[in-house]
Structure 1
């Protein structure tokens, strides 16, 4: 690790000067939860806390010895003299810090172990959108081994574990097994913090750790976590409330009273006039409800394709116009068959339907603008909060005249048809106007009910495998990490 400091390439001279001046490195651990399971020690126990201090204390002391040996050979770090480590009677160190519990991200998945010092996030995962669209259930190998050894393994039990993700309260699983195989949400918040503090005692830098809270957690619960982490000497703490994104979208500013007021404010549903067939009354005197149909699609349209960066990856938007007016919209993101691709296609279909029914595109952009999730990309006016927000920004740009729409052309290259538009599209022999490449066609993928509420869409693979672990977002399917 000390050699890596010299081998690195630095983006700025000031960063290089500071890095080489202190020569900080950080040895850490991963697979902590797996080790506790093999030893038969519950994560949320005094025995686990004592072992954490013992293990990290050993790593810290041995790393200091190794750094002192390097200092005798190569010299101490340049900023050693006059620093807090320049203490009489202590040997100089080559590195200002030697230990860190960092987000292990994808390397723990590559190694096939639990991440950092986190508990198991789930006993099982269901990976979808692979192997021709089939579901692949992955059970924690240690749990499956114990289940076979103790004689309670069965396909139905494994299926139930995969559905729930935890074995707590599950019939057929021995109590001693339940006690050891606890997941992040099975563990009380104070044990998360105490485990982090146990490692922090013997760690120079910060400890990467997420305190997972249940959906019902209150602001007072979060305050208690922060205060406990501060009192126990943690240098930082990350809190994640399960299902927080979904609850914010559905419940902001509304309690039971708000829901009742909203229900009372809704217009009365259409009623039947007389007997026989039901005849629909006009709604707000703006025309018959339920009888608006989209205008037929012309054979040829002009269009433009743009790329927008979103929190879920690159979004490709195709807008076709008729007489200069937006007529239909296609949107592509992720790989075919993934949840994010299906959601985006469905959103584009509804936008196209609204445009072909004469809805003002400004109204569509207004409804989609500002919709956000738990991440965003960009800054200031270029900030994109979600796929719907990216589409809204594109529509605003088009309506403001900032997007040029050119006729689609198709250029024959042997047996291939090359679709082009814009100023670089080549006109001439073999080039004719054509509709845009791609159409809605059949659905790219169906819904996937039953996903764990703690998982989110991965921007890399588009699957529901993105988990909040080690103070970071990482994908349990493809290994993508945002740290």
Structure 2
């Protein structure tokens, strides 16, 4: 398969955020040079171990990125081989119940954001609002008020303008301030740099199902504060998520049942998108395989040998990143080098199903998903074992569930891949298509227009392509009502709002069954959905043993990332968006 060109939209993203700039602010690096810079920096780790050839592996890393077959998380692309050299995407910063701890955490988060990382926090240890403050004789303001401090600090940093600050705020469902937390983002403009999720226990979900009450416990005294209705709290979560997109749910007992290092303590928080549960101060390095590039030319079947080679490469790349990394916090360095967690995942899953002409969410798609992730898991664990034989097990293996050989406490994670999937010109993570034609809001409000190239190709080959059809796509989130689109294409190019809640959760659950970290997946609902649909998603996701759930109803959040294109012009040759230039319409792809 030939190396794909970098799309016009991808080039805009790269120039804005990733490529090195000179002192005058002008870009002085090409995408090819960026891939070479990253490959050289990550492969240089081999010189320390003397078990793999540096130049040979650099070339493999470079070609995999150049050919858009594998891409690491954004901080690695941005910072590898630069003075910054902070390569991790996600961190968890602990917060204890004292002013000193809270403001130390604010500082630590600022350092993380400044270097391009995102941070997750559990606020569950903080005493509730109105509780006593013995040292001053005053009363506590509670977790939500301090979250606003973190939010303001994040807004001030804005990660140097390259990656906007991203946080995850988590509060246990049995914290006395849980209702205040659930509604924290209902006020317009509140906590704009936070995703929030309630850490939900199995006991709570069981009581909610039975219509029972449960206890809220003051974390300062460990005494019951009051008793509330579990169904009421779950319904409050659902109505708030219906209204604003938050909160999500983290099924915290499921997270800790698969904690790979229980001897180091429980997990309380995750990264900003929920796909990596982490211990205090822990960080993780992520990378994703582009499934759309795992096919032979014009083939409808995966090249399994190529996929196996790419999994092996991805694990070796990400393990090297741990050693190449320059951590913003010394505490992070210690725990990361002790556990050596990595998170290899996939993007382009919807593209893969479209190539195979399989409907997303169907029984066949679930079979394909399970076979895929089992194959990737087996190859990733083998690669981790192979590395351990030459470089050693991760140091904390004696406190883990493993007996060895094992280089990494975790190996898999399914990330949302929002920006790197744009660079790779593929669908995001394991998400279904949002629409066939849409805009993506990135880069501080810039709107980048996208039209699905697989649909355009299928329409041309199938003889149903027309300019009129492409115009219709610009105002529709679905092809299901378009008579000119044949049934096979309607199934292959099903979009998020065509897929039932249970079908979307089923896809997430199949991947989660074999992923040792977690799975980022948004359950998309049409604007007409009710809060009961959100409630149904929570309950079903818990029953399917997911580790978390995020539900988003169309239009419920101001400035949502993806929207329908609206009335624009599309190129009659390739179906991609046109732009006005010097009084004429020019295609962004054809030129």
Higher helix share: 2
Length-normalised TM-score, structure 2? 0.40
Length-normalised TM-score, structure 1? 0.48
